[in-house]
Structure 1
Amino acid sequence: MAKSSADDMELRRACQAAVDGSSAGGKHKVVLSIRVAKSHGVWGKSGKLGRQMAKPRVLAISTKSKGQRTKALLRVLKYSTGGVLEPAKLYKLKHLSKVEVIQNDPSGCTFTLGFDNLRSQSVAPPQWTMRNKDDRNRLLLCILNLFKEIIGRLPKVVGVDVVEMAIWAKENTPAMSKQVNAEDGPDDSVMTENNSTVTVEKDLVSQAEEEDMEALLGTYLMGIGEAEAFSERLKREFLALEAANVHALLESEPLIEEVLRGLEDATLCVDDIDEWLGIFNVKLRHMREDIESIESRNNTLELQTVNNKLLTEELDRLLERLHIPNEIAECLTDGSFGEVHMVKNIEACEWLSRAINGLEGQNLDQRYTNMRAVKEKRAELKILKSTFLRRASEFLRNYFASLVDLMISDKNNFSQRGQLKRPDHSDLRYNYRSYARLLQHLKGLDKGCLGPLRKAYCHSLNLLLRREAREFANELRANTKTTRSPVFSLEAPAGSSQTTNSTDTSSVAEVYSKMLTVFIPLLVDESSFFAHFMCFDIPMLLPPGDPANITKNESNGIGANDSNQNLTHAHGNDAKTSNASDDMIALNEALQELLDGIQEDFHAVIEWGCKIDPLCCISMHGTTERYLSGQKADTAGFVRLLLGDLESRISVQFSRYVDEACHQIEKNERNVRQMGVLPFIPRFATLATRMEQYIQGQSRDLVDQAYTKIVSIMFVTLEKIAQADPKYADIVLFENYAAFQNSLYDLANVVPILAKFYHQASEAYEQACTRHINMVIYIHFEKLFQFARKIEECLQSSPAEEIPFLVGLSKVDLRKTLKSTFSGLDKSANAMYKKLQKNVTSEELMPSLWEKCKKDFLDKYETFIQLVSKVYPKETIPSVMEIKDLLAPM
């Protein structure tokens, strides 16, 4: 017989090493290790190839003692890719509940182990196949012994003959014990020959069963030596007993025949019952078919009844949609539009809108869309809608015109001679608001019908607004008591006309300011009311008549382009924004028609004020700019355009005045010779003073531009006049630049643009003075400075020590030059002073000119001394302080 793998000590040591190397190994000791084949297939049945293929495994039983307790584990080990055993599964033997040998395996070497703690009991346990029955019995015997010793109970064993196990144990236990003791030495876990037999008998049978077996075996004292002989004897006795039983049965033949007859009778009864049952079954089948037919007809009737009921309800609802109440039809076709009947008209509009929407495709079942009755009713509703829209539009057009005509026909609504009337449209708007809801419903029925109504409203109200503006402007001008101021001229000399030009014309600017104060809020209010009343879909609108819309925004809203940009920025590029943008364009077009022509009266006031005093343009421009910057509403685009037009017109009028002033300055070029201060220099200071009075904290852009243009022309003209006579050019320049500085000294301290020109004039004055004084100095001290110039020229080509030996630059020549210069210093200084005084017309400039002349002469003389000390170091000449002391009393 081949050696069992259970006796392979190399295998056991490999198992022990795998157990010790695992995290759950601890101090477990392998008691038994044996090679097996693992499979999941079923013997005699087809299955998946992967499930039927056997996999080599090693089953190892290990124990661990912990005090008086001993734990036993069943380990499954598999071979790794390198042929090394490694743990695969771990079972606790205390949970083993069943050991079953597979009956389909003819070799009897395949069995399963059932554990009661497995989570999925629906999965078939693996099957373990041994090489032979000896390996199987050896493993099972070890498991049963451990159960009896450690756990105190036995698992259920199925498919194994207990007697066969006991016989096998008696025959193989001595060999097992000897082999284990010879190889491994004494071990407590290995059983001896005597106690192993007892243990097997105790494990396989109980005490009572053992006694019964001994009694049974005691009756056969035949000297049986082999189990096969005993088995043959038992078979013979079994056949003898079976023959005795057959004989006994034959002796009871009469009883059997009686039983057979009873069975035949019973068979006949059963056949009769079967026939009757067949008949009843046919009848029941027919009854079942009849019942099913009745139920089917009943279900059909019930379904038809339900459908008819639902159809009736649906038709009732459809008829309710299609029904037009008589009072609604009369109101839509022949009703009155008076204020008393407006509630009925609004209700009729609401009903008509609901009815039309209810018959639309998205609100009506598609099956009803093509019904004749629905089409006819839809056409009838369209006729009602068109009739009502025509009647309502005609009434509102006449109503708008009639209300405005009533106001125009009453002269008390306008300004009259001696009585200034502020326009008041509160009653007009109150009457209009009675039909605001009607307009909203008209827009809901047909948005296109509002176009003619908006035009009629704009046309009627435009007549009223233009009449009010014209009468108000005429009365304002008539009540303004002012004398016409002559145009301020820059070419006339400053004299007696100063009094005339200082006439107070502030009331002219007040007329224009009052026009804006009264009409700009009115126009903004009318624009906002029009936008709401005529149902423009524009976001961010203040309610009509809102005080914030009148007081905070005292003028107008933004233009069409600006409003579109704001709307796009605030709402994005969605459909609502597109609709709002379209409505904004339509609103601005309508507002232009509503307010067109009213600008003529504002233009008339501007031209009237410019004729009285062109400088009033400054105040009017500032007032317009203030109103223009305060407009934020989106509903008054034309008002903003109006203010922008007024601002441009005022700027043009003022530019004309500035151009005329520049033309007057340029006419001075044609004079042959002009000495002294030119007339436009002091006149400009007077003009600037008056212009500053008109600004009064408003925007300076207009005035600063005028200053820049006028002063630039003044300086250019001054330069041209000075160049007409080069001999006296510097005198003309520094006298006029000095006069410019003196006249604008106070204004330059507070006006930045004038301060810039003040500094520019100061620089030009210094340059002209320097040129003129240098000319005077060189005339009277020509010899001295010519000698200095010769020294400088020679120093560029010769060393300083050689210069005294040159012709004309000797020490003798130096002494003669100094003697001729300082011997008549008093006369030369007086002549120089008289030369300065000769052509200067302004005596106030002489002290500063003379002081500057002496200073420049001393600076030049100091330069001369430095040259002489370098070239003639031993020569003695007068010092700067000596010359300064000589000139001081002059």
Structure 2
Amino acid sequence: MARSSADDVELRRACEAAIDGGGGKQKVVLCIRVAKSRGVWGKAGKLGRQQMAKPRVLALTTKSKGQRTKAFLRVLKYSTGGILEPAKIYKLKHLSKVEVIQNDPSGCTFMLGFDNLRMQSVAPPQWTMRNKDDRNRILMCILNMCKEILGGIPKVVGIDIVEMALWAKENTPAKTSQVATKDGPATSVMTENDSQITVERDLVSQAEEEDMEALLGTYVMGIGEAEAFSKRLKRELLALEAANVHALLESEPIVEEVLQGLEAASICVEDMDEWLGIFNVKLRHMREDIESIESRNNKLELQSVSNKVLIEELDKLLERLQIPSEFEAALTGGSFDEANMIKNIEACEWLTGAIKNIEVPNLEPCYAKLRAVKEKRAEFVLLKCTFVRRASEFLRNYFPSLIDFMINDKSYFSQRGQLKRPDHADLRYKCRIYARLLQHIKSLDKNCLGPLRKAYCHSLNLLLRREAREFSNELRASTKVSKSSTVWLEGPPGSSQTTNSADSSSASEAYSRMLTVFIPLLVDESSFFAHFMCFEVSALAPSESFGSNKFGSDGTETNLAAHTGSDVKHKNNSNELEILNECLRELLDGIQEDFYSVVDWACKIDSLCCISMHGITDRYLSTQKADVAGFVRVLLDDLETRVSMLFSRFVDDACYQIEKYEKNVRQMGVLPYIPRFATLATRMEQYIQGQSRDLVDQAYTKIVSIMFVTLERVAQVEPKYADIVLLENYAAFQHSLYDLANVVPTLAKFYHQASESYEQACLRHINMVIYIHFEKLFQFARRIEELMFTIAPEEIPFQIGMSKMELRKTLKSSLSGLDKTVSAMYRKLQKNLTAEELLPSLWEKCKKEFLDKYGSFLKLVAKIYPNETVSSVAEMRELLSTM
């Protein structure tokens, strides 16, 4: 028997290389050569001609994925170079039927039916093997894989199960097969006999076995030996073969007639096929002629359409390149008067659009290289330069002429006896006429805006400074004030400190009026300038951007362009913002001097005006937080700094005047700056406006701290009278600031501090007076207290100088003539006290302190000398009340 291709090792290697390149992802279980042909479906098939069989290779493969194993049927074909390459792949889980074709007498042709094929109307391919052994081998392999991997077998048609089982028993070479287990695919070695027995058991059901046994039983009934049965079967077989031969010989004429009919039909079909071939050649030539005609026709139509579109595009291009005569006249030599501005604006708009239309984004790139377009672009650029030069020259002369006209007319400014608020409405109206012209100039040539902005800033700066100077001079001249000659916290005690209060308020009102008139004007001018001169800044530069700006020592603004860095829009417009800040500096620089002069003038009239001016400035600063004009906020910040500096200078002078009292040799009674400070604080509270509370509180803290320090130093000049000086001055401080301390928290704090110092001074002075007049009595009590630390209380009377006799002597010397002693003590309190109104309360404190000390003395006597009789505290209180 010829060697099967299923045992060809080279074929297996070629299949593995063709399937996955030899990577080993899929394992080839069986590969065998077959012939592929397309079957026919009943009577609808072609007569007399079958398709030619094609060589193919069928390969059964498995692929393991985790614990699962998949089975495939692969069809491979030969390429031009004789190399195997994949053609088709089928999944065995979709195999539904295995059918052996009955039309093939050899029985080597079979068909595989899959239930997932899309084209069910097309006959599936038929596979023809070299012999029945190859057919049985591949079919048995397919059925075994379906059973082992998929758990079931497809439908088998046209093949004898018994025949396959017998064949499997005869072909029992050992082979290696792969089966699926619960733990994954496993390879095991088994014989084909085992496999075929399994297949036979699977392919023949129990019912079929019973039918076969019944059939066989009919033949063995009455037969005793197998040999006799075999002879009988041979005789029957010979009879059947003889009957078949006889039937064939009888049907020979019919067969010959059928063969003749088939031959005639075959000749007709061959003739028809020849005629169809001729017609096919003629039709092919006709189709080529038609395609050639259609191609030429399409080219002509395309050329016609292209020519039409080209003409339209050229018309559009010419329309873009043509310059209207009226616009050309306006751009090259037109007037810039107000009556002609509409025509000039229209010409600018046309020129801007024309330049954009011949640029690459709006014009096809192929047109941009045309000579006509390049020449026209150069002509447009020349036209743009000419117009921008003429318009810039006109505006550079127009802005100074407007300002010069206003400066030369004195009626625009404040005059003697008449304050005039600056009015720029007419100026802005005349400027707005050319606002759109400036926008077009910027779009045509952005660099031309720089000189125009400088010319506008320089001219308007002269007007604003002139208006501020005239208004400031007339404001000071018209305010009825006289310079205050009174120096606070200095001078004789009886000098008046309340002069010029009305004049001081008028000076503050003059400063407020200066801000009311000019701050909104400067804000409006800054905003108008930013819009008019086409600055592209977000929200026109919020005031936070100028938080760090300051004026230099010469009064000019420095570092106006400060950026927070937190706003993305500010970063995008940083260059525009810097240019705007620089222009605003040129626009408003120098005007701050007139504000400074008003501040200095009001401060010379009365330094307390700084308080109200500080509050006014704070109020304007709080309303300018979201303002667009950075220079105005810087101006207000600097004014506030200047006012604070002047007021600090006034506070320093007041502190210096207080410190001068320390140089006097002796100071008795209430120091003069105590009541004067109360008057000063009252005036300062009258001037507080807006947010100036902190400024005044800082001044209170500094002045009162110096007052208390100086008072302590003055009191120490003569220690003998130190407590009297302290208690009188602290009492005067409390008395003079009682009302203000109830409403001013800062003064309330110092009021409580003075009250504590007063109580301490009173206590020290009273103790001194008491010890002077009752020295022996309290020295005896002090010795008792000292001895109690070292010895027992009952032993103290036995110490030297501490006997009961000594106690009686001490009581007699101290308490005899008590009325005289108390009168002397009262006179001692009255002797050096200049503030008589303090004596009653001081005397009451003195009696209370004496009774407290006397009560402590009695407790010691009762503990050490229990049997001694001494006047009680109640008797002593009653005695003192009668004196």
TM-score in same-fold range (> 0.5): yes
Give, as a single letter, the amino acid of the residue that structure 2 aligns with 1:876: T
Which residue does the alignment assign to 1:709?
702
Q: 2:611 aligns with which of 613, 618, 637?
A: 618
Letter in 2 for 1:740: F
User: Partner residue of 2:793?
Assistant: 800
Please report how far the alpha carbon of residue 751 of structure 1 lies from its aligned counterpart in structure 2 after TM superposition. 1.0
Matched, 1:126 2:191: no
Q: Which runs of 5+ in 1 are unaligned?
A: 1-37, 53-87, 137-167, 180-192, 194-222, 253-258, 543-552
Residue identity opposite 1:372 in structure 2:
R
Q: How many residues are treated as equivalent by the alignment? A: 711
Aligned to 2:841: 848
Secondary structure in 1 matching 2:539: coil
> Equivalences for 1:655-734 in 2 at 5 Å?
655-695=648-688, 699-734=692-727
| Partner of residue 594, structure 2 | 601
Q: 1:753 to 1:858 in 2, by over 3 A?
A: same
Q: Closer, same or farther in 2 for the Cα pair 1:170/1:479, shift >3 Å?
A: closer
* Structure 2 CA distance for aligned equivalents of residues 172 and 859 of structure 1: 142
Alpha-carbon separation, structure 2, partners of 1:282 and 1:752: 119
For 2:865 and 2:119, how far apart are their aligned partners in 1?
Answer: 130
Within-5 A mapping of 1:510-525: 510-525=509-524
Superposition RMSD in Å: 4.4
Q: 1:130 to 1:491 in 2, by over 3 A?
A: farther
Residue 239 and residue 848 in structure 1: after superposition, are their counterparts in 2 closer, same or farther (change >3 A)? closer
Change (3 A) 1:514 1:529: same
Deviation at 1:721, TM superposition (A): 0.8
Conserved 8 A contact 2:715-2:722: yes
How far apart in 1 are the matches of 2:854 and 2:691? Answer: 55
Contact 1:110/1:127 (<8 A) preserved: no
**Distance in 2, Cα, partners of 1:887 & 1:743:** 33
| Distance in 2 (alpha carbons) for counterparts of 1:370 and 1:663 | 86
Distance 1:732 1:131, change over 3 A: same
1:737-782 CA distances to partner (integer Å, 9 max, x unpaired)?
Answer: 1111111111111111111111111111111111111111111111
Q: In the aligned structure 2, how far is the partner of 1:635 from the partner of 1:429?
A: 18
Q: Aligned-pair distance for 1:806?
A: 0.3
Structure 2 residue aligned with 1:151: none
Deviation (angstroms), 1:603: 1.1
8 Å contact from structure 1 (residues 537, 580) kept in 2: yes
What residue number does 2:765 align with? 772
Q: Which among 757, 776, 781 is matched to residue 774 of structure 2? A: 781
Matched, 1:173 2:173: no
Rounded to whole Å, the distance in 1 between the matches of 2:211 and 2:462 is 136
Q: Give 3-state SS (helix, strand or coil) of 2:573's partner.
A: helix
**Residue 493 of structure 1 pairs with residue 492 of structure 2:** yes
The change in CA–CA distance for 1:564 and 1:276 in structure 2 (over 3 A counts) is closer
Asked if the contact 1:39/1:51 (under 8 Å) is kept, the reply is no
**Structure 1 residues 43, 591: closer, same or farther in 2, change over 3 A?**
closer
Q: Is the 8 A contact 2:31 2:58 kept in 1?
A: no
Whether the 8 Å contact between 1:567 and 1:581 is mirrored in structure 2 is no
Instruction: Work out whether residues 39 and 127 of structure 1, in 8 Å CA contact, stay in contact via their aligned partners in 2.
Output: no
Q: Give 1:321's aligned residue.
A: 320
Distance 2:714 2:383 in 1: 87
Aligned partner (choices 554, 565, 586) of residue 579 of structure 2:
586
C-alpha distance in structure 2 between counterparts of 1:127 and 1:104, whole Å: 19
Residue deviations 1:162-221 (CA, integer Å, cap 9, x gap)? xxxxxx999863447999xxxxxxxxxxxxx9xxxxxxxxxxxxxxxxxxxxxxxxxxxx
Q: Secondary structure at the match of 1:307?
A: helix
SS state of the match for residue 48, structure 1?
strand
Alignment-derived partner of residue 464 in structure 1: 463
Q: Which residue matches 1:536?
A: 535
Question: Distance between the aligned counterparts of 1:624 and 1:383, measured in 2?
Answer: 54
Give the distance between the partners of 2:647 and 2:719, measured in 1 at CA.
Answer: 36
**What letter corresponds to residue 242 of structure 2 in structure 1?**
R
2: distance between equivalents of 1:651 and 1:815?
71
Judge which range, 297-306 or 744-753, deviates more: 297-306
Shift of 1:423: 1.1
Q: Give yes or no for contact 2:526–2:629 (8 Å, CA) kept in 1.
A: yes
Corresponding residue number in structure 2 for 1:758: 751
Report how far residue 112 of structure 1 moved.
Answer: 8.9
Distance 1:723 1:479 in 2: 52
| Distance 1:232-1:131 versus aligned 2 partners, 3 A rule | closer
- Going from structure 1 to structure 2, the CA distance change for 1:178 and 1:412 (only over 3 Å counts) comes to farther
Distance 1:232 1:513, change over 3 A: same
Q: Summarize deviations over 1:88-114 as a string: whole Å, max 9, x none.
A: 9999xxxx9x99654389897999999
Flag the 1:661–1:850 CA change in 2: closer, same or farther, 3 A. Answer: same
Residue type of the alignment partner of 2:546? G
The 8 Å contact of residues 734 and 751 in structure 2, kept in 1 or not, is answered as: yes
Q: Over residues 430-477 of structure 1, what are the superposed CA-to-partner deviations in whole Å (9 max), with x where a residue is unaligned?
A: 111111111112222222222221111111111111111111122222
Match among 51, 57, 61 for residue 50 of structure 1: 61
8 Å Cα contact 2:482-2:500 kept in structure 1: no
Cα drift, residue 379 of structure 1: 2.5
Deviation for aligned residue 1:796? 0.9
How much does 1:131 deviate? 4.3
Corresponding residue of 1:431: 430
Could you report, residue by residue, the CA deviation over 1:272-291 in whole angstroms, capped at 9, with x for unpaired residues?
Answer: x999998x999998887776
Q: 1:276 to 1:356 in 2, by over 3 A?
A: closer
Q: Secondary structure at the match of 1:874?
A: coil
Which residue of structure 1 lines up, in the alignment, with residue 205 of structure 2?
none
Match of 1:828 in 2: 821
Is the aligned partner of 1:228 residue 2:237?
yes
Matches within 5 A, 1:109-188: 126=154, 128=156, 131-133=161-163, 173-175=214-216
Superposed displacement of residue 233, structure 1: 3.2
1:681 deviates by 0.6
Instruction: Give the Å deviation of 1:589.
Output: 2.0
Q: 2-side partners of 1:399 and 1:90: how far apart?
A: 95
- Which secondary structure does the structure 2 equivalent of 1:500 belong to? coil
| Counterparts in 2 of 1:446 and 1:783: CA distance versus 1, 3 Å | same
Indicate how the Cα distance of structure 1 residues 605 and 171 shifts in structure 2: closer, same or farther if over 3 A, else same: closer
Mapping for residues 863-874 of structure 1, pairs under 5 Å: 863-874=856-867
What code does the residue aligned with 2:467 have? Answer: E
CA contact (8 A) 2:512 2:616 kept: yes
Q: How far 1:687 sits from its partner (Å)?
A: 0.8
User: Residues 772 and 448 of structure 1: is their aligned pair in 2 closer, same or farther, counting only changes over 3 Å?
Assistant: same
The change in CA–CA distance for 1:681 and 1:661 in structure 2 (over 3 A counts) is same
SS of the counterpart of 1:132?
helix
Tell me the equivalent position of 1:12. none
Secondary structure, in 3 states, of the residue corresponding to 2:58?
A: coil
**1:50 aligns to what SS in structure 2?**
strand
CA–CA distance in structure 1, aligned partners of residues 643 and 605 of structure 2? 14
Structure 1: distance between partners of 2:363 and 2:369: 11
Aligned residue in 2 for 1:67: none
Q: Structure 1 residues 567, 850: CA separation in 2 closer, same or farther (over 3 Å shift)?
A: closer
Letter in 2 for 1:353: T
Name the CA shift for 1:816/1:170 in 2 (closer, same or farther; >3 Å). closer
**Structure 1 residues 102 and 534 mapped into 2: Cα distance closer, same or farther (>3 Å)?**
same
Write out aligned runs for 1:362-441 (5 A).
362-441=361-440
The alignment status of 1:508 with 2:507, answered yes or no, reads yes
The alpha-carbon deviation at position 118 of structure 1 amounts to 11
CA shift for structure 1 position 840: 0.8
Structure 1, residues 676-713: CA drift from partner, whole Å, max 9, x if none?
A: 01111111111111111111565311111111111111
Query: Are the equivalent residues in 2 in contact too, given 1:488–1:501 (CA < 8 A)?
Result: no
Q: Are 1:875 and 2:862 counterparts?
A: no
Match of 1:20 in 2: none
How far apart are residue 843 of structure 1 and its match?
Answer: 0.3
Which residue of 2 is the match for residue 184 of structure 1? none
State the distance in 2 between where 1:756 and 1:684 align: 16
The alpha-carbon distance between structure 1 residues 401 and 134, as it changes in their structure 2 partners (threshold 3 A), is closer
Contact 1:43/1:105 (8 A) holds in 2:
no
Task: Give 1:399 shift.
Answer: 1.4
Q: Normalization by structure 1: what TM-score?
A: 0.72
Deviation at 1:620, TM superposition (A): 1.1
Using the alignment, how far apart are the partners of 2:103 and 2:254 within structure 1? 32
Maintained 8 Å contact 1:493/1:680: no
